[in-house]
A and B are shown apart, each in its own frame.
Chain A
Amino acid sequence: MKLLIDNEEFNVPAGTTVAAAVMLVDRPSFRRSVSGEPRFPLCGMGICFECRVTIDRVAHQRSCQIEVREGMVIETE
């Protein structure tokens, strides 16, 4: 499936979670913590909220709980 991650186009297999997709394309961080640290997913199961990204302009989506959709636009911090 074609998606846009931080304005770059990527192809990932259907059924991939957004968290896995962002890690596959090697971004420096998913979100920045309140003190500016780069953060990555932690729990993988929707509990910790460390994997939040902006999906199709909606901020703070838990990327580990959402699968990629064709044409999805993902932004990390």
Chain B
Amino acid sequence: MSESIKAEVVIVGAGPAGLCAATGPVVASRSVVLIDDNPRPGGQIWRAEKGRTEDLAGRMIHKLSEHENFRRMPGTHVFGIDGNSLLCESPGGDVRVEFEKLIIATGARELLLPFPGWTLPNVFGAGGLQALVKGGLDVSGKRIVIAGTGPLLLAVAYYLRSKGANVVLIAEQAPRSRILRFGLGLWRSPLKLVEAVWYSAKLLTTRSVYDSYVVRAEGDERLRSVTVRIGAKTETIECDMLGVGFHLVPNTELAELLGCEIRNGAVVVDEFQRTTVENVWCAGEPTGISGLESSLLEGTIAGSSAMGAPDSGRFLRRNRRIRRIADRMNRCYELREELRRLADNATIVCRCEDATFGEMSKFDGFRAAKLQTRCGMGACRGRICGSASRFLFGWEADSARPPIFPVRVSSLAGED
């Protein structure tokens, strides 16, 4: 390792949860290091838009940086651990970061499911497409289909339209009645309701269908059209881009590596965000998908708890309430059976190793399939196909093993 640093509180993830977690300890003059893979702070929702410096995450980082006891490590990812040290790869080389207290705020990723044609250029995750546009991709005048499931679809469609895209269809796989019922249940949470009504109003002129899903993407070297099942009918729609995502999956790899208990794909925590491993806290999406507000609260709670400061019961109560709403919301976007049968034998499931559905479905578990087809052994370390296989075949993903990100050879050599 080329550099070695030490801090009382180390936080992984500079999204809303990580930024909130940093604030308490930094103000209380503890030494804090904040590590994030992205070059810019803000995580997924506050992902700073190209050229915009006056965003919320930027202001928070600016405030934190006024304190000498705060150090930020952008563009840096944690790929392994060694006792109480995180092994990181940063733009300037490898860094070993020793912690007394660790707060994991690694967020979530989209669930991406295979269907024929999903490997064609210009097929993206829905949030993935939004992230690329925030990075400067021009979508003005482009015909775009947004599909999959979850509240993210509307947010993305709205964003793309504001960037001049021609969103030709929004296809949500969940039934409209289920979403309406959930929406009505939101009356006790006016903010959420306002948000939902606002998006629907803004998207009134965009064709939106429910009970609908993409069955196929067509094109030779590029996407040309998608075939969508809309209720009982099938329709082929010409488009330039497809953004398709099936709600979110917690990023639990780092927590797993540290030995934290994982249940139903999420990191187990108590109400103070303590994991089952001493001196390790977890906040935000890795503890279960519950959205921005919960990430803010959990980050704040984890920060105070890691300092040994008592937390106000108000935050704890509020978080419990939000998580109950989130549970109901997650159920409302439950995936339909048909999505398990979209891939045919020739459809690639593991995009790193080009392992197909036909090859993988011969096995009865991820580990067996991995040994024979190399699925999950590529660069993404099974983050895409492992989550997909869990849904497609009901397989439990293999436990995370280092490195959780592929690394330059020098980083591994430096470990000894």
Which residues on A are within 8 Å of B, measured CB to CB?
Answer: 12-17, 19-21, 23-24, 28-29, 33-35, 37-50, 52, 60, 64-67
Contact = CB atoms under 8 A, between A and B. Distances in A.
B380 A48 contact: yes
Q: For the side of the interface on B, what is the size category? A: 35 or more
Residues of B contacting A: mostly: loop
Contacts, number: 119
B376 interface: no
B331 interface: no
A48 B405 CA distance: 10
Contacts of A35: 354
Contact of B128 (A38, A43, A52): A43
A67 to B, nearest CB: 5
A17 B132 contact: yes
Give the residue among B39, B133, B351 with the most A Cβ atoms within 10 A: B351
A66 B135 CA distance: 10
A52 B351 CA distance: 13
Contact of B131 (A23, A44, A49, A60): A44
Interface string B342-367: 00000010011110000000000000
B75 interface: yes
Given A37-B119, A45-B109, A19 B128 contact: no
Contacts of B380: 47-49
B148 interface: no
Contacts of A14: 51
Interface in B115-161: 119, 121-125, 127-133, 135-138
A47 B128 CA distance: 10
Contact of B112 (A21, A23, A43): A43
Contacts of B125: 42-44
A50 B173 CA distance: 26
7 contacts: A15-B51, A33-B348, A39-B121, A47-B109, A48-B351, A60-B406, A65-B39
B259 interface: no
B110 interface: yes
A29 B251 CA distance: 28
B379 A60 contact: yes
Given A16-B50, A20-B137, A49-B378, A66 B39 contact: yes
B119 A39 contact: yes
A41 B124 contact: yes
